[in-house]
Chain A
Amino acid sequence: MGRKYLRPRIWIYLALAALLFALPWIVTGRYGIYLATMVGIFVILVISLNLVFGFTGQISLAHGAFYGIGAYTCGILQVKGILPFWPALVVAILFTGIIGILVGIPMLRTRGPYFAIGTMCLGIIVSLVLLNWQSLTGGTSLGGIAGPGRMNIGGWEIDFLSSKTYYYLVLIFDALSLFLIYRLIHSRIGRALIAIREEEELAESIGVNPMKFKVLSFGIAAMFAGLGGGLYAGYMGAIDPDIASVGTSFNLLVMVLMGGAGTIMGSIVGPILLWMIPEWLQAAQQYRPLIFGFILLLIIIFMPRGIVGWVRGLHPKISDWIP
């Protein structure tokens, strides 16, 4: 474990980063950029779900709900003319995080399937509220979200209405999110989370307060989900309650598991694959749930560590290269 291993690794990451930045010129067409942007947003969602599920071991099906809360908070604040995009985004992140903590405190006292069902119930309640509280949420759809629009930063004109520019915005937030969560995982806190996941009783006997760390990871994850939601709202300009559905939470879980629960690269691989597979199969949108269900089943039975997890397991040195 010395500096000499860093050199080739850093070149690989730089190459990947360059590829990502050059993407809008490689991939032509609006649909391609749309896919890339959505993958980018989902990377934020997946890595935060990975924090709760992959690293702390709690099966959360509330992530879609937090995504929706973030999107709607950001959207409603703009539509009602209360705040422009950027402050609305910050509020969305904080608000979703607070909800995450408030909900997490009671819910995280439960385990396993109990917790999963509880989070699912939360998701259903959020969907219902978003659909029915029409005066606040516009019912079946909330439109007219201005988004970041055009901005003048230090003399430079940035047009966020351009999908290329928005893609880069999402990319920057991706880098930030990955960086922060990477730091978190490779710290005393991350070790405590992993301890809880692996052997909660042992973790507690060495001084780890399980509730404190479960709630912490749940709240942080919720904040990132809120970020993803806000970015989505700014991107699409119009949102509907479907994004907060349990279906979204299921899809996110599939992405985490397929990419690799408990790995950071897996949080990138998962969304890429699961957005791309339907494209490659040229499958119509309606086949998605079926395909995802099969993938989930196959992964959990035959490759529970996911693709990246499996690759990492092949040889100890590989773990150094792929976080």
Chain B
Amino acid sequence: MDQLAQQLVNGLITGSAYALMALGLALIYGIMHVANFALGGVYMVGAFLTFYFVSWLGSPFYLLSLPLVMIIAIGLGALTERFAFRLVREAPHATTFIVALGLYMILEGGSSVVFGHEWKTIPSPYNDLVFKLGPVSVTFQRLLIFVVCAVLSLAVYVGIMKTMTGKMIRAASQNHDSACLIGINVNRMCLLTFGLGSGLAAAAGTMIAPTFMVGPAMGLGPITKAFVVIVLGGMGSLQGAIAGGFILGMVESLGAGYISSMYKDAFAFGILIVVLIFKPTGLFQR
């Protein structure tokens, strides 16, 4: 019973990171209809930027890296839109996906060249602080992950749903051509969407980084899992992405605890394959 509670809490925590990442992906997929695999690279870049930030300024400044990393990531996302995705905007989905793959390879390859191959750790002051709530123990870092990811997810979700900009973005997604006609600056919406999605992915990377090792390939697993989440939660559905992220986190945690921790990563993928077998277009029709 105690173990169950611990597993569930761990699951919620990793789930919050998955939710954040999936939200970024769902935003871009739902609005731009681009399966942006490059977010895996952005996630990794976020973690690396945090690593260097903390190395230069010292670990007490860890949290300060978050807004900075996000800003850089938003810029990076906008760049990818402007110089890569925009060039293939009219192309079939297969093409845009391959563009995203290429970008991911560039990011992973590039960081491998710049930062080197070995995995690094980020010393965070919060890793050592441990809370105990009954049978469950949580490091402050992991609590932070949950708080930051959950808050960001909700903020972005509310922002997209309620604000004027958010509504314009959603209008642009309902019908690209009509939005153009109305005069909504589609280009700016595209830049914003890619930027925002990237910012979220990088934030997830920043938060996870201190609990994990940082390396060029660290984004592959998370982005693939984020895809699993949005397929399960409904491609492009923001609520589905958030909910799905948490659910995946918990399923993975329980699986790791009770079935096998070596094959932890395989659960998400196994679930995806099983779901695709029975419902080739995902659990929810868009």
- Give A contacts to B, CB under 8 Å: 57, 59, 106-107, 109-114, 116-118, 120-122, 124-125, 128-129, 132, 246, 250, 253-254, 257, 286-294, 296-297, 300-301, 304
Using Cβ atoms and an 8 Å threshold, which residues of chain A touch B269?
121-122, 124-125
Question: Quick check: A297 and B220 within 8 Å, CB to CB?
Answer: no
Q: Please report which residues of chain B, range 212-232, place their CB below 8 angstroms from some CB of chain A when the two chains form the complex.
A: 220-221, 224, 227-228, 231
Contact with A along B242-286 (1 / 0, CB 8 A): 000000000000000000001101101110110011001110000
Smallest CB gap from A298: residue in B: B102
Question: Quick check: A296 and B102 within 8 Å, CB to CB?
Answer: yes
Interface of A is mostly: helix
Using Cβ atoms and an 8 Å threshold, which residues of chain B touch A107?
273, 276-277
Question: Quick check: A297 and B103 within 8 Å, CB to CB?
Answer: yes
* Complex alpha-carbon distance, A254 and B88, angstroms: 18
Residue from A106, A117, A132 in contact with B263 in the complex, judged by beta carbons closer than 8 Å:
A132
Question: Quick check: B106 and A59 within 8 Å, CB to CB?
Answer: no
Using Cβ atoms and an 8 Å threshold, which residues of chain B touch A287?
109, 113
Using Cβ atoms and an 8 Å threshold, which residues of chain A touch B280?
109-111, 114
* Complex alpha-carbon distance, A16 and B167, angstroms: 61
Question: Quick check: A286 and B224 within 8 Å, CB to CB?
Answer: no
Nearest CB on A from B120, distance (A)? 16
Question: Quick check: B273 and A106 within 8 Å, CB to CB?
Answer: yes
Question: Quick check: A124 and B266 within 8 Å, CB to CB?
Answer: yes
Question: Quick check: B266 and A113 within 8 Å, CB to CB?
Answer: no
Known: A286-B117, A297-B106. A121 touches B93 (CB 8 A): no
Known: A124-B269, A301-B88. A114 touches B109 (CB 8 A): no
Using Cβ atoms and an 8 Å threshold, which residues of chain B touch A246?
220
- Contacts A110-B276, A290-B112 known; list 13 others, CB within 8 Å: A59-B94, A59-B97, A107-B277, A109-B277, A116-B97, A117-B35, A118-B276, A121-B273, A286-B112, A293-B105, A293-B107, A293-B109, A300-B88
* Complex alpha-carbon distance, A289 and B98, angstroms: 15
Using Cβ atoms and an 8 Å threshold, which residues of chain A touch B97?
59, 112-113, 116
Question: Quick check: A291 and B93 within 8 Å, CB to CB?
Answer: no
Smallest CB gap from A112: residue in B: B93
Smallest CB gap from A107: residue in B: B276
Using Cβ atoms and an 8 Å threshold, which residues of chain A touch B84?
297, 301
* Complex alpha-carbon distance, A292 and B262, angstroms: 31
Using Cβ atoms and an 8 Å threshold, which residues of chain B touch A118?
272-273, 276
Question: Quick check: B105 and A289 within 8 Å, CB to CB?
Answer: yes
Using Cβ atoms and an 8 Å threshold, which residues of chain A touch B99?
297, 300-301
Question: Quick check: A114 and B95 within 8 Å, CB to CB?
Answer: no
Using Cβ atoms and an 8 Å threshold, which residues of chain A touch B262?
128, 132
- Nearest 9 A/B pairs, CB to CB: A293-B105, A290-B109, A289-B109, A293-B106, A121-B269, A297-B102, A296-B102, A106-B277, A113-B35
Using Cβ atoms and an 8 Å threshold, which residues of chain B touch A109?
276-277, 280
* Complex alpha-carbon distance, A132 and B260, angstroms: 11
* Complex alpha-carbon distance, A254 and B108, angstroms: 15
Question: Quick check: B98 and A291 within 8 Å, CB to CB?
Answer: no
Nearest CB on B from A66, distance (A)? 16
Question: Quick check: B282 and A114 within 8 Å, CB to CB?
Answer: yes
B67 at the interface (CB under 8 A from A): no
B104 at the interface (CB under 8 A from A): yes
B184 at the interface (CB under 8 A from A): no
